[in-house]
Amino acid sequence: KENLNSDERKRLRTKVLMWGSTSPKDGENVGLIIGSEIVACPYIEALPSLVQTLSDLMSGGARAIISYKPRLKSEDIFFDLAKEKFDIEWIGRSKIHRDFNRRVGIERIGIFILTKKNVI
């Protein structure tokens, strides 16, 4: 919220989410979810709730951008769980803006776009 100017504050909303207890309210339109460092979780038992919360919020066709720096095994567990509900696209270095691509350590940053799978 602190990074938004006054115009953006009128158009965009930010929220703190409690995994497993948050779902879109009637009429709430979620277009984009940005999560940074949310999959590097020392509480592996919380990851199914994170996946479910993302799935609930993305029911209207939203996408999620997830970024993290690998630190724990939880990242692998998250993506194993997530691939059941989401198509996952890795954003490689060639797709990262050149201003950020030159930073030392960027090669260890994982950036992914999640799109909810169509369930038939």
pLDDT of residue 17: 73
The closest of 87, 91, 15, 88 to 57, measured between CA atoms, is 15
Span 11-63, pLDDT tens digits: 877 777 778 776 666 556 788 888 888 887 777 888 999 999 898 888 778 89
Span 53-79, pLDDT tens digits: 898 888 778 899 998 877 777 788 899
